[in-house]
Amino acid sequence: MTRRIFIIRHGNTFESDAQPRRIGAATDIPLVTSGQIQADRVGAWFAEQDFSVRHIFSGPLLRARETAERIGAALVKTIDGVLPWLNEIDHGPDEGLPEQEVWARVGAEAIAAWDEQAIAPPGWRVDAETRLAAWRAYLANGEEGTDILVTSNGAARFALLALNLPLASLKLRTGALGELVITADGEIQLQRWDYRP
């Protein structure tokens, strides 16, 4: 029995010429055109693979749901539902601020600690233990086949930490995916991370 779990970050929510802002759970915005293209590209990639997709789940925010729906459309499969623990984190006082202002407030070291170890800067609400427990429970229970989970950058990193699989960077770019394979004896292998089809 082999189980595959794909963890996908939603597509772009800002066009390339827009000023980057730190958005989290408090900002529910749709994909922009380039984000829709990213989601469609991921969907087309899955349609070309030989995976038996059992479930497609998403986080509750519009950008995650829209990405999941576009992937599902490519697979002619409806979304199985929303998993609340796949929601983005809360950036607290930094919500909606331009990235340069966030860096100025928390400092480069705090951003690096978040990207490399998921240690949240002051004021961010992450609830790391609940997220880790949710990932561990999901990964421990399941059937043969492939599951697709569409989430955010803030939530995705906790899958790696739950499995003690830290990388140099825990980040997933928009429209990128990670792949976990769980073998018949329960061994979990990281096949890829931050892969953009």
* CA–CA distance, 196 with 96 (Å, rounded to integer): 26
Q: Tell me the catalytic residues.
A: 10, 88
Which amino acid is residue 118, in one-letter code? A
Annotated binding site: 63
Q: 145-151 and 53-58: which strand pairing?
A: parallel
Distances, alpha carbon 149 to alpha carbons 44, 73, 95, 126, in Å = 16, 15, 24, 19
Q: 81-82 and 3-9: which strand pairing?
A: unpaired
Terminal-to-terminal C-alpha distance of the chain? 26
Q: Whose structure tokens read 């992937």?
A: 71
Q: Whose structure tokens read 């480069």?
A: 108
Annotated binding site for substrate: 63
- Residues listed for the chain: 197
Asked if 110 contacts 122 with a C-beta cutoff of 8 angstroms, the reply is yes
* CA–CA distance, 72 with 67 (Å, rounded to integer): 9
Q: Is 185 helix (H, G, I), strand (E, B) or coil?
A: coil
